[in-house]
Chains A and B, each alone.
Chain A
Amino acid sequence: MLLTITNTARPATDLGFLLHKHPARVQEFRQSSGTATVFYPEAGEERCTAALLLEIDPVALARARGKGSPDFSLSQYVNDRPYAASSLLAVALGEVFRTARAGRCAARPELPGTALPLELTLPALPCRGGPDLAHRLFEPLGWEVEARSLPLDEGFPEWGESRYVRLVLRGSVRVADALNHLYVLLPVLDDGKHYWIAPDEVDKLIRAGEGWLRGHPERGLITRRYLGRRWSLARTALARLAELGDETEEHLEPALAEDAPPEATAADEAAAAEAEAAEAEATGAEAAASEKAAEPEVKVRSLSVRRREAVLGKLTELGATSVIDLGCGQGELVGALLSRPAFTRVAGMDVSPLALTIAARRLRLDRMPDARRARLTLFQGALTYTDKRLSGYDAAVLMEVIEHVDPPRLAALERVVFGHARPRHVVVTTPNVEYNVRYAFLTGLRHPDHRFEWTRAEFAAWARRVAAEHGYTVAFEPVGDDDPEVGPPTQMGVFTRDQRS
């Protein structure tokens, strides 16, 4: 909420001309989020400091928020917006210093083109990625960066550092560039914008980034974060950047997939969203992860495709013609099943209404031909409740589902699937935890919502017991490269009901 800009080039008060704000006056500017005041704490020949103080009205902010606001912290009533130098400050700065940002100065036309020894201070800047990211973003732009983490609470030193840094930038930079750097990079560091991102954001980014964003080594990260992780927008921006800088789109394309990785069930996605909200502050780790995710993502993707192919192949081999995908997520397997006419009846069940909505959209349910539509059923259900709708299929698939169930409730799932629904075949896949050592960046389990991951022996023991209790036999197959030491990344159990039961 506070930004100070200090010029130390004589006459320092030239800053007033550049900013179009007179050093002897106190000027107020109404903003949608509150009131911005520009004043000069000092205005000497040697040193002149302009201060932009933005007073946020948190009540008005809360009222103005749209439903399902993308920014978690804004959906709460107690938030840091009145104090932290967030996107709200960037917006205020953008409006209050609009002329200065454009590099125009009618009174002293030579001034805007001159680099000045500037010092910019932001006492509380939310910085997802820690001081290091501030260095990475500002140093390539010619700033000397001083970024100091603020402690969360001096009374509880064990809580560690907050996500805020006190940022001081020093350098010889044109005022217009300095303002544009902040205008773009404040929301990038904060990584959470306060308003919905509309297509014209791309234009704003291109304008404000003119002359410096194209060559910035972190332009991918800046673009993604500025546009709030809306990948279609990010792609447009990247494509246009490519036009400007003669680089190919592919070259700029981030390695991350647009949506959740294909292996993630919708349950995962919801959990991920929740986990993300929960650890919105897990600063360094997150930033690092998103930058480094390229390699494992590619691998995971191929594994998920191989897993799906393995399941499809198995279902075909078993001669199943009606299949229910239990925990269908966003409908990847359901879509694959539908595209093969041999599967005459296909059902997808998931516990998440959101996942089902996404699945319906991805499968283009609303314009699916009647004949295909007639083969498909999608519905909400939970594997811990018996449900008549689960019965009557040749095969049920539990693909990467059981590891999302708390161990004490697995018994209920077993009864529901093997005891009540009792399809002829049940295909179960789950991660092989032994393989986790092969993922270089992985700490802990493969997904925040996994309640457990089993070794091959643990999975086999579970599967054999379940099979014995419910009159099934079970066979095991690897999915993915079968590592001689730790086995395959995914293990698959194929259950077949005994003839007599």
Chain B
Amino acid sequence: MISVPELSLVVLVGVSGSGKSTFARRHFKPTQVISSDFCRGLVADDENDQAATPAAFDLLHHIVGVRLARGLLTVVDATNVQQSARESLVALARRHHVLTDAIVLDVPEQVAIARNAARPDRDFGPGVVIRQRKDLRRSMGRISREGFRKVHVLRGAEEIDAAAVGYEKAWSDLTHLTGPFDVIGDVHGCRAELEALLARLGWQGVRHPEGRTAVFVGDLVDRGPDTPGVLRLVMDMVEAGTALCVAGNHEQKLVRALDGRKVRIAHGLRESLDQLAAQPPEFVARAKAFMDGLLSHYRLDGGRLVVAHAGLKESYHGRASKRVRAFALYGDTTGETDEYGLPVRLPWAEEYRGRAMVVYGHTPTTRPEWVNNTICLDTGCVFGGHLTALRYPERELVQVQAEKMWYEPVKPLGTGLARDPGTLDLGDVIGTRHVETRHGGRIRIDESNAAAALEVMSRFAVDPRWLVYLPPTMAPPETSRLDGYLEHPHEAFEELAAAGVREVVCEEKHMGSRMVAVLARTPEAAAARFGVRDGTCGAVYTRTGRPFFADTGPLTERLRAACAPLWDELGSDWVVLDCELLPWSAKAGELIRRQYASVGAAARAALPEAVAALEAAAGRGLDVGELLARTRRRSSNAALFREAYARYCWPVDGLEGVRVAPFQILACEGRATALEPHAWHLATLGRLDAPLIAPTRHVFADLDSPASRAAATEWWESLTAAGGEGMVVKPAVHAPGRVQPGIKVRGREYLRIIYGPDYTESLDVLRRRFLGKKRSLALREHALGLEALSRLADGEAAWRVHEPVFAVLALESEPVDPRL
């Protein structure tokens, strides 16, 4: 039985005619096997064109490299009888931190020659095989020292035919263990604190009554008062199967010292050596064997959790190489040292974008902080700080205070990484991207849309730390066939009922400007959750992320005051609200004057004169009757149009007259509340009582009841007859799947603002409108919005929240009929 690592490069070695391809076909998937003949064919249209060999191997190396980078087992089917050929493959695998096994197929010369002779495409003589065998012979002596993890040699056709291939898991692969885990930071010989922490975590001896598994991040030893005690406890737990431990740099060095190798006795190594010297030799031997056998890192819980002493970047997860081990033990260092003589570390975590949570220690900080789904648990217990554990999957931190400062630190403890969560990386947003969302699957963002969004985001949007959500676009219903109507509630009800929605809420559509409000209770809460440390407590912005006014501070402050009851109601120090800012003219004054009032002014100046001229012509007996009637009608449409926009304008002086209608609580601490039923949103927000707050009128409708539908329709008629914009029909509770989260049904008069004063004259033409794209965008943007809120509520990193928000903006750059 030949056993190869699950992720490895398998190099077949054997002369032409030794049966490599047959062997590969029998034991591996066709896609796993890359043969030199195949590559030669690709680059030369002839598998036997020896002149193409260098190009063929270039291609082979490229394919193998791409596969290994993607974590795929790969088999190279080439003769590989020369050392140089094998060397380059071993080096390639190393570059990808993948182990390499060789399988040598050694058949008698005559067998190979006979096989080649039987194949019409092999037109070379026996000399080739003889030469290759000579190379192979020469190789066999030293092949085991060429960097292969294992060299499997199969001698003779019989042994080759009988061989079976099995797979072994990487040592670091404990993905089948699902926990729950208690990951424990650097102990450094602090036995008492470790025992206290385990007790606080609920451990009884070496076992936890709920079957939890402890995972130590390494650096059990050195500096502290009782390294042997810590080792004994951890070894007992590991032997009992209730704990795992990865290697720390201090264990590594201690083993070397115990082996009698020359090491510099520093950084608390002296303490360990002295303490161990007082132990019986059997214990020292056991401890040394334990420490020597520790692995660089573990992948746990289906790969969702990675534990390594100094952390591990994503491309190293599950890989094995000296470089991976060095990274896991020492972190990513520049090779330079700082003014304290300590290595300068590179902030790999800041660039970490992997999905696995990485838990590590190594760098003592005063407070553990999440950085891009990674966390360092070394809180300097031995330096008088804390010993910290992370409960997984709860993401809960448990700490005990050090009894005393056991060891003087060389330099003061850092405050975590000097990182500002506002720093985003361009790589997180540009190019064609796929954003994974939990409520809408994987959403593709085109490169060109991302480019457009980058410009808008960079030049016009508010500070991205506040920009935690952008509202999705909303589709209108199917076009109504009712005489005189373009939109009517009937189609909205039908659409949602067909999607399986039983109850809807019809909310008044405020005719103002969409506004997202992000509010924090205190500057401290703003700093803690949003990383904004300039003392501001919130921000309000438009549907494209722009500030409403030059200074939105006063409005934010007023809104924060008005929303104060929410802090206790939600049990959160921050909240994100979806609102409408009223009146329309407060934000859109410029647009109204330029666009709407201008059209109205021109129409109301021109049409009456046209009517007068036509009346005069009619008076002369000219046949202008039809044109006159039409022009009169248009003149009255122009007046209605003017009424339509003027209704939503009222003068505001500063903030006097401005009102805010919050209609949904998007998120607060730990909760993406956007998923809550609308009844809860409206009731909670309905309790806000401040002059600034405008209520959102609404009715619920049972779609199974024609009477209930009729009542809601009547409500809509009365709203719009009184000049209202219309209503939004939403599933009363979150409807998963491809169900529109809201459908806007706009009033007849309001639509004059959208389709023009005379739209009622050409309804038949306008009914041909195409909703598909708008609807699809609405669904995708909704999923992205929910994703941003969920990530925010889960406390994920800034860039993780920014990604779906940016994606919404990118999708908004898609051209779509602006009247929809």
**The stretch of B8-16, B119-127, B457-465, B697-705 that contacts the partner chain:** B457-465
B622/A267 in contact, CB under 8 A: no
Residue A123 CB within 8 A of the other chain = yes
Nearest residue, chain A, Cβ from B464 = A384
A120 proximal to B (CB < 8 A): no
Distance between Cα atoms of A217 and B494 in the complex (Å): 66
Give the residues in chain B near A449, CB-CB below 8 Å.
459
Which residue of chain A has its CB nearest to the CB of B596? A78
Q: Give residues of chain B (429-448) contacting chain A, Cβ–Cβ below 8 Å.
A: 429-430, 448
Chain B residues closer than 8 Å to A164, beta-carbon distance: 598, 601-602, 605
B210 at the interface (CB under 8 A from A): no
Chain A, Cβ-Cβ closest to B621: A24
Find the A residue at minimum CB distance from B799.
A385
A106 in the interface (beta carbon within 8 A)? no
Bound CA–CA A77/B601 (angstroms):
16
Interface segment, one of A13-21, A37-45, A108-116, A367-375: A37-45
Which chain B residue lies CB-closest to A57?
Answer: B762
Does A31 have its Cβ within 8 Å of any Cβ on chain B? Answer: no
Most-contacted residue by chain A among B593, B631, B646 (CB, 10 A):
B593
Please give, as numbers and ranges, the residues of chain B lying within 8 Å of A77 by CB-CB distance.
Answer: 754-756, 818-819
Q: Are the CB atoms of A40 and B601 closer together than 8 Å?
A: no
Within 8 A of B (CB), among A475-497: none
Are B613 and A76 neighbours in the complex by a CB distance under 8 Å?
Answer: no
B818, A267: Cβ atoms closer than 8 Å: no
Number of contact residues on A: which range applies?
35 or more
Given contacts A39-B614, A158-B651, A159-B593, contact A83 B609 (CB under 8 A): no
Are A41 and B616 interface neighbours, CB within 8 A? Answer: yes
1/0 contact trace for A375-413 toward B, CB 8 Å? 000001111111111000000000000001010110110
A462 CB → nearest B CB, Å: 15
In this complex, the member of B455, B457, B606, B630 whose beta carbon has the largest number of chain A beta carbons within 10 angstroms is B606
Residues of A within 8 A of B638 (CB): 83
Chain A stretch 130-188: residues in CB contact (< 8 A) with chain B:
150-153, 155-156, 158-159, 162-164, 166
User: Judging by beta carbons under 8 Å apart, are A126 and B455 in contact?
Assistant: no
A249-265: contact bitstring with B at CB < 8 Å (1 yes, 0 no)?
00000000000000000
> In the bound complex, what is the Cα–Cα distance between A404 and B459 (angstroms)?
8
What is the minimal beta-carbon distance from A346 to any residue of chain B, in angstroms? 20
Q: Does A214 contact B (CB under 8 A)?
A: no
What's the least CB distance linking B497 to chain A, in Å?
Answer: 31
For A39, the closest partner residue in chain B by CB is B617
Residues of B within 8 A of A58 (CB): 756, 758
Instruction: Verify B609–A2 contact, CB threshold 8 A.
Output: yes
* Chain A proximity mask over B590-613: 1 for CB below 8 Å, otherwise 0: 100111111111110111011011
Q: Judging by beta carbons under 8 Å apart, are B601 and A153 in contact?
A: yes
Does B426 sit within 8 A of A, measured CB to CB?
yes
* Interface contact A76-B623, CB-CB below 8 Å: no
Contact assessment for A385 and B424 in the assembled complex, using a CB-CB cutoff below 8 Å: yes
The reply to whether A351 and B617 contact each other, CB–CB distance below 8 Å, is no
Interface check B620, CB cutoff 8 A = yes
- By a CB distance below 8 angstroms, the chain B residues around A406 are 463
Contacts of B448 in A (CB 8 A): 353
Contact check, A162 vs B457: say whether CB atoms are below 8 A apart.
Answer: no
B613 — which chain A residues lie within 8 A by C-beta?
Answer: 2, 4, 39, 41, 49, 51, 53
Q: How far is the CB of B620 from chain A (nearest CB, A)?
A: 7
Residue of B nearest to A281 (CB): B594
Which of chain B's residues has its CB closest to A58's CB? B756
Tell whether B624 is near chain A: CB-to-CB under 8 Å: yes
Give chain B interface residues in 706-759, CB to chain A under 8 Å: 753-758
Determine whether the beta carbon of B610 is less than 8 Å from that of A53: yes
Say yes or no for B5: interface residue by CB 8 A criterion.
no
Decide if B616 touches A124 in the complex (CB within 8 Å).
Answer: no
Check A385 against B425 for contact (C-beta < 8 Å): yes
A84 on interface, CB distance cutoff 8 Å: yes
A452 to B: closest C-beta gap in Å: 12
The CA-CA distance from A322 to B59 in the complex, in Å, is 34
| Chain A residues with CB below 8 A from B534, complex form | 408
Question: How far, in angstroms, from A416 to B454 measured CA to CA in the complex?
Answer: 16
Check B458–A382 contact: CB distance below 8 A: yes
A59 in contact with B430 given A26-B622, A386-B423 (CB within 8 Å): no
Assembled-state Cα–Cα distance A451/B534 (Å): 19
Complex Cα–Cα for A79 and B614 (A) = 24
Choice from A24, A280, A408 contacting B463 with Cβ under 8 Å: A408
Which residues of A lie under 8 Å from residue B426 when comparing CB positions? 381-382, 385-387, 389
Partner of B756 from A4, A78, A162 at Cβ < 8 Å: A78
Least CB distance, B562 to chain A, in whole angstroms: 24
Q: Decide if A412 touches B614 in the complex (CB within 8 Å).
A: no
**Neighbour of B451 across the interface among A1, A79, A353, CB < 8 A:** A353
Contact A281 B602 (CB under 8 A): no
> Using an 8 Å CB-CB cutoff, how does the interface string of A344-356 with B read, 1 for contact, 0 for none?
0000000111000
Cβ–Cβ contact A152 & B455, under 8 A: no
CB of A380 within 8 A of CB of B599, answer no
B164 interface residue per 8 A CB criterion: no
> Is residue B61 within 8 Å, beta carbon to beta carbon, of the partner chain?
no
The reply to whether B454 and A351 contact each other, CB–CB distance below 8 Å, is: yes
User: Considering the chains assembled together, what is the distance between the CA atoms of A37 and B755 in angstroms?
Assistant: 25
Is the Cβ of B753 less than 8 Å from the Cβ of A78? yes
Which residue of chain B has its CB nearest to the CB of A388?
Answer: B427
- A380's partner among B454, B597, B762 (CB-CB below 8 A) is B454
Shortest distance from the beta carbon of A172 to any chain B beta carbon, whole Å: 24
CA distance A385 to B425 in the complex (A): 5
* From A83, A155, A267, A352, contact of B599 by CB (8 A): A83
A103: interface (CB < 8 Å): no
A59 and B620 contact, CB distance less than 8 A: no
A80 and B620 in contact (CB under 8 A), knowing A158-B651, A382-B454? no
Name the residue in B614, B617, B631, B634 with the highest tally of chain A Cβ atoms < 10 Å from its Cβ: B617
Residues of A within 8 A of B649 (CB): 156
Within 8 A of A (CB), among B619-650: 620, 622-624, 627, 630-631, 634, 638, 642, 646, 649
A residues less than 8 Å from B452 (CB atoms): 353
Which residues of chain B have C-beta atoms less than 8 A from A73's C-beta? 595
Given contacts A53-B627, A156-B649, A166-B605, contact A270 B617 (CB under 8 A): no
Measured CB to CB, the residues of B under 8 A from A are 420, 422-430, 448, 451-452, 454-455, 457-459, 463-464, 534, 590, 593-603, 605-607, 609-610, 612-614, 616-617, 620, 622-624, 627, 630-631, 634, 638, 642, 646, 649, 651, 753-758, 762, 765-766, 818-819
* 19 A-B pairs (CB sep. < 8 Å): A37-B627, A39-B614, A39-B622, A41-B616, A53-B631, A55-B630, A121-B609, A124-B606, A152-B600, A267-B459, A281-B594, A281-B598, A351-B455, A351-B458, A380-B451, A382-B454, A385-B425, A386-B426, A408-B463
List 3 A-B pairs, minimum CB-CB distance, nearest first: A41-B616, A382-B458, A83-B602
